[in-house]
Amino acid sequence: MARAKPRADGALNVPLPVGATHFPAEAGAPPELFPPGISIRSRRGVQIDFAYDGRRCTETLAGEPTTKLVREAVTKRAAVLRDIEYNRFSYEAAFPDSRKVQKAAREAAATAPVVSTVRMRTLLDDFLTIYKQENPSATNTLATHAQAVRSSLAPVFSDMRPDEVTQAFLIEFRDQLRKSEFRGQLRKKPLSDKRISNVLTPLRGALALARERGLIHDNPFERMRPTTRRRGASVALGPDGQPSFDEPLPSSLDPKYEDAAKQADPLDHHERAGVLDAMAGQIRNYFLFAFWSGLRTGELIALRWCDIDWKKNQVCVRLSWSKASFTKTKSKRARWVELNEPARQALLAQKDITSTAGRWVFHNPKTNDRWQNSERVRQHWIAALKTAGVRYRKPYQTRHTYASAMVSAGEIPEWVADQMGHLDTRMVAEVYAKWVQRPDMTPGESAAKIYKAEWSRAASWADHVNVMPAGVDDAAAGAGAEDDEEDDDEEDDEDL
């Protein structure tokens, strides 16, 4: 390696211009070329160039470029190359003010594990508290989040630190939710991807709080694919490479609506008549209206007299009761429902009983006030099914009964979807496809003709007397939000 020759003391601090490549000439001697790896690229210092760890590195000795600073740079570069050769070079020790060193320190601090005593139970509780403060009217969603924390998340994550919740752990936990057995308990069926996403939402929010508070460096959810699995187009084949020859026909051609199509089990006209004959008073009015309006359970409970337009023969469905609170309808928008003859007769009968109060349309005949939860209504439904000898279905089947009756009568699918409160006709087309017929009449007229004989009995079924049916122990019906929560979950599955 070339070494700098000694110079006279008076020449050590000669300023050098940017781009200079030689020491200035002295005592008649020619200018000396700078050693390799030394250059002056600015007025801020002298640059050193060297190779380390397979990469080209450049560092600058700060100061005004002079012959003295250049010689210091030559000495510094020689020491660096010597340390690299003997495998003892430390970038931090050689260049403590280097940008590379500072960047590496920041990256190391960003990836270093955070020592914290905060547990996930605190973050989950904080998520629920903050969600309630920021969304005071979203009581149903808050109840869903709280249920997910209580039943699925707390047993697994409560005692974990946020830095212990890794991406691999989350993926394994999500896979467990998809199985029929979870934490030693068997489920009737695995959770759907939509329900799993709902379960993970509070956990995702809790980890976002942890990152915001500096407890973790990143949220592992940000690196995960969405919970909804991609539906493959592959065909299921047996061990012999052949498809099944006894595969059952699907309830819906769209997998998204498969479960809803399977659960649609409407009552035929004989069953409807038998059930209504087994009822009396306001209970009969309630289910007569439910059969021929298609309202959801929560919408029936929350129906008010101010929602009825007698002149236009319509009902404005804009309120629902679910999980012990009033909410908007499931589609988050109001809708007009046309009153056919049975629905109108049921309201006329109720008008004689409850309209003087000017509040709720349907009352519990025992309390003379609105229904407090769906379980109390269910008790009367079960008693009527037993009396009529009709096999059991959930009360929600009154909604499926209305939809199937309308499409089988030839009503326009767009009109039926609007009456039901669906955002489009896909639900009608997929869930009620086997009942669909070509319409040849204006909306409502076809159903009136098809069900003329049954509708003619509507006036006799509509009960203008407030009585409490015998054989139903209303006090035994559970009260509280749990029953409504179950009914709300049922609607999520059946009505998407």
SS3 325: strand
Round to whole Å and give the CA distance between 117 and 159: 10
Residue 428 is predicted with a pLDDT of 79
Contact predicate 199/147, CB 8 Å = no
Angle between helices 397-408 and 413-420 (to 10 degrees): 160
| Of 181 and 345, more confident | 345
Question: Which DSSP category does 162 fall into?
Answer: G
For the stretch 260-308, pLDDT in tens is 767 888 899 999 999 999 999 999 999 999 999 999 999 999 999 999 9
> What's the distance, CA 406 to chain centroid?
33
Residue 49 is predicted with a pLDDT of 93
Tell which residue, 250, 252, 283, has the closest CA to residue 467: 283
Domains of the chain: 9-111 (no CATH), 120-223 (1.10.150), 258-495 (1.10.443.10)
pLDDT at 112 over 60: no
Residue 167 is predicted with a pLDDT of 86
Residue 383 is predicted with a pLDDT of 94
**What are the two backbone dihedrals, phi and then psi, of residue 22, each rounded to the nearest 5 degrees?**
-135, 150
| Of 218 and 349, more confident | 349
Q: How far is CA 35 from CA 5, 14, 62, 328, in A?
A: 11, 18, 19, 80
SS3 33: strand
For the stretch 235-260, pLDDT in tens is 777 888 888 878 787 766 666 666 67
Percentage of the chain exceeding pLDDT 90? 32
For the stretch 216-238, pLDDT in tens is 888 888 877 777 655 555 677 78
Round to whole Å and give the CA distance between 424 and 406: 16
For the stretch 26-67, pLDDT in tens is 777 788 899 999 999 889 899 999 998 888 999 999 999 999
**pTM (two decimals):** 0.56
- Residue that the structure tokens 């049954």 belong to: 454
Round to whole Å and give the CA distance between 86 and 468: 98
Q: How far is CA 284 from CA 37, 50, 292, 349, 464, in A?
A: 97, 92, 12, 10, 10
